């Protein structure tokens, strides 16, 4: 019984608890193990990917706001990409 449990047990990368791998789900981004309890709570990413996702989402929102304001004055999309050599 202990053997079976150990073979099946995986460490959840979101809450850190050891849960049955067969009842968990892979992280949406990196595929690491997320336990069923976290999935029930709406967790789809491991702790690291979740932090990563929030980190990348926040600046994007700010950049979009800046771009929206700047685009009216300058060109349409991202001027930095098509910027001529001066």
**Residue ranges in contact with Zn ion by CB under 5 A:** 12, 14-15, 27, 29-30, 32, 35, 38, 46, 49
CB closer to Zn ion out of 51 and 63:
51
| Cα distance between the two ends of the chain | 71
CB closer to Zn ion out of 15 and 22:
15
DSSP letter at 34 equals E
Cα 66 to chain centroid distance, Å, stands at 24
CB closer to Zn ion out of 30 and 64:
30
């Amino acid at each position: 019984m202990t053997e079976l449990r150990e073979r099946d047990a995986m460490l959840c990368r979101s809450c850190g608890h050891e849960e049955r791998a067969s009842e968990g789900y892979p992280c949406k981004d990196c595929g690491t193990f997320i336990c069923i309890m976290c999935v029930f709570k709406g967790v789809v990413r491991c702790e690291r990917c979740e932090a990563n996702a929030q980190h990348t989402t926040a600046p994007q929102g700010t950049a979009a706001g800046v771009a929206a304001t700047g685009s009216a004055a300058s060109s349409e999309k991202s001027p930095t990409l098509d910027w001529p050599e001066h």
